[in-house]
A and B are shown apart, each in its own frame.
Chain A
Amino acid sequence: MSRLATRWPCCRRSPAVDPVAGSFAIVEEPIDVGGLVSAAQRPDCGAVSTFVGTTRIDESDEASVEYLEYEAYRPMADRKLEEIGAEIEERWDARHVSIVHRIGRVDPGEASVAIVVASPRRGPAFEASRYAIERIKEVVPIWKREVWSDGYVWVGSQVGTRS
């Protein structure tokens, strides 16, 4: 954050002194959501919108989901996250964008994805974070399977070992 930018509290951007900050990552460990939010706070932004996707447990009569397991096609998936960041930058005045997706085993209630967008105003921050999660579900090569007490199912393909 440069001192020059702090003297411009309006919505104008000056990329030369104030490039969009943030990070795009695929991680195998728990996501530090608080750290991502703290890193996004800046004096020229009045809004930090955060979306956290968490693993939800489904149940049927006889069985229940024990955990989810994610896999990614890397480095394509990493690059797609960065592309979503670039798309956001084109459409909104977002000055900090972080998108972090976890892979591997994710236990119930834990974060599988976190999106943090800082903008001078709340409207763009909300819209951009919504856009990011919808785009992730369209274009980022990541897959999850639900591991049930009686087998597993690949979400979206309905292929697995559950009868």
Chain B
Amino acid sequence: MTQGSIRVLFFGAAADRAGVREAEVSADVATLDELWPLVEQQHPDLSPMRGTLAFAVNGEYARGGDRVSPGDEVAVLPPVSGG
């Protein structure tokens, strides 16, 4: 991984829509809300799902205003359907 970039993981339907399971965003962003437009720009097919998605930063659920930093792992999580 490029130093200073944020690693973005996609799961389930989001991986389908993104066409990849993983991406890197190296722009200077401070929060999830700032990160999202860049992810969407790389993977526009994710846009229609935006309202259904949850996020995790470094393995814990996070909200739009939560901080993200270089080196973090951000997971894009569609509605869970375990069981």
Contacts and interface: CB of A to CB of B under 8 A. Distances in A.
Contacts of B78: 143, 154, 156-157, 159
Interface stretch (A5-13, A71-79, A118-126): A71-79
B64 interface: no
A96 interface: no
B11 A73 contact: yes
Interface stretch (A15-23, A35-43, A131-139): A131-139
A157 B80 contact: no
Interface residues of A, number: 29
User: For this complex, into which size category does the number of interface residues on chain B fall?
Assistant: 20 to 34
B20 interface: no
A63 B45 CA distance: 27
Interface of B: 9, 11-14, 16-17, 49, 52, 56, 59-61, 75, 77-83
27 contacts: A72-B82, A73-B11, A73-B59, A73-B77, A112-B82, A112-B83, A113-B82, A136-B82, A136-B83, A137-B80, A137-B83, A139-B80, A140-B80, A141-B11, A143-B78, A143-B80, A143-B82, A144-B81, A154-B16, A156-B79, A157-B12, A157-B13, A157-B78, A159-B16, A159-B17, A159-B78, A160-B16
